[in-house]
Each structure stands twice: as C-alpha cells, then as structure tokens.
Amino acid sequence: MKDIMNMMKAAGEMKAKMEAMQAELADLVVEGRSGGGMVSVSLSGKGEMKGIKIDPSLLKPEDAEMVEDLIIAAFNDAKGKSEAEAQRKMADVTSGLPIPPGMKLPF
C-alpha cells in the first residue's frame, strides 16, 4: 500500500511539473535564421509563429522565390529549436521516473 501512495504522490508531482513546463513553453520564444541572418522567424515554444523579419535588400520582385525559400528555412530552423527545447524540458520533468523506453509524454 505504501508503494501505491508513493506512486500517487510522484504522479501528482509530475503533473505539477508538466503544467509548469507547459507554461514555460508558452512563454518561450525561439528564433530561426536563414540566409546569413537576412531572414528570421520567431516561434513560441508551442510552434506558433510570433514574428518574421526580412532584410529590406531581399524585397525585390526578382528575388521573391529566394525569399520564400529563406522564410521556409528560417521557420524550420526555429521549429527545430522549439522542439529541442520542449524535449529538454520534458526530460527534466520526467527524470528519475521509471518510464519504459519509447514511451512519450504527454500521452
């Protein structure tokens, strides 16, 4: 019975940590860059685009396709950083818990 109580206590603590981590992710802003910093995209920790900056020298009609490609590259860079930070925070929250390999949280 004591093991069940300890497990319930650990689950409650993990829930509180998960809620705190999700709040941190909501406030997190990561920036992805491409084209040597000529295009940058800001994303929240949840992957929502918060901003975009384009160097004015790229705003020529003949460069439109290149600018589009740079925006996609900057977005993907920011998204990768956001996902890596979320995984790092999740690892901090779940450290010490006996979670089977391959099992992902939240469920």
| Residue ranges of domains in the chain | 2-92
Residue 41 to residue 49: CA distance in whole angstroms: 7
Residue 83 to residue 51: CA distance in whole angstroms: 17
Q: Is the bond preceding residue 98 a cis peptide, omega within 30 degrees? A: no
- Residue 107's pLDDT band (cuts 50, 70, 90): very low
The CATH architecture assigned to 2-92 reads 2-Layer Sandwich (3.30)
Mean pLDDT of 4-16: 80
The reported pTM is: 0.57
What pLDDT, on a 0 to 100 scale, did the predictor assign at position 1?
61
Span 44-96, pLDDT tens digits: 877 788 888 899 888 888 988 888 899 989 888 888 888 888 888 877 777 76
